[in-house]
């Protein structure tokens, strides 16, 4: 389950807490909310973590599925979302792919993948 910890309209960030089905606080992430006046407003995800004692239980998979659901429902004007991840962070990459993100670019010099997801098909 996701709970909004903070919606900061000035810095344009939303901090979200994730709890297990049993109600234990197990992870968090931050969404950066774009300026909706842009042509293609895109959400970005950062500061994502599953707290140490909860890792390895597929909770990141669950958190990311719920995160994508939240993004689609609450930010319908955003066509897509993106994040960056270290190329050796296999658990994170797998969880993002599980939720529908795909690697769209790789920065070999900095060992980073750009991953993106389409949230809404554009109606033009």
Q: Site residues (CB under 6 A) for ligand COA? A: 48-50, 55-61, 85, 89-92, 94-95, 98
Alpha-carbon gap, residue 117 to 51, rounded angstroms: 24
Choose among 61, 67, 69, 51: nearest CA to 95.
61
**Which DSSP string do the residues of 99-116 spell out, in sequence order?**
TT-EEEEEEGGGTEEEEE
C-alpha dihedral (47, 51, 56, 57), degrees to nearest 10: -110
Kindly state the smallest distance separating residue 100's Cβ from ligand COA, in Å: 13
Cβ distance to ligand COA smaller for residue 9 or 53: 53
Cβ distance to ligand COA smaller for residue 44 or 61: 61
Cβ distance to ligand COA smaller for residue 10 or 83: 83
């Amino acid at each position: 389950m996701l709970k909004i910890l903070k919606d900061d309209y000035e810095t344009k960030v939303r901090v979200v807490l994730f709890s297990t089905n049993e109600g234990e606080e197990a992870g968090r992430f931050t969404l950066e909310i774009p300026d909706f006046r842009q042509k293609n407003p895109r959400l970005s995800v950062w500061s994502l973590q599953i707290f140490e004692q909860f890792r390895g239980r597929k909770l990141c998979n669950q958190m990311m599925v719920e995160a994508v659901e939240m993004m689609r429902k609450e930010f319908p004007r955003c066509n897509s979302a993106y994040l960056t991840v270290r190329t050796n962070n296999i658990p994170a990459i797998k969880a993002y792919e599980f939720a529908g993100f795909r690697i769209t670019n790789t920065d070999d010099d900095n060992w980073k993948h750009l991953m993106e997801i389409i949230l809404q098909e554009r109606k033009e």
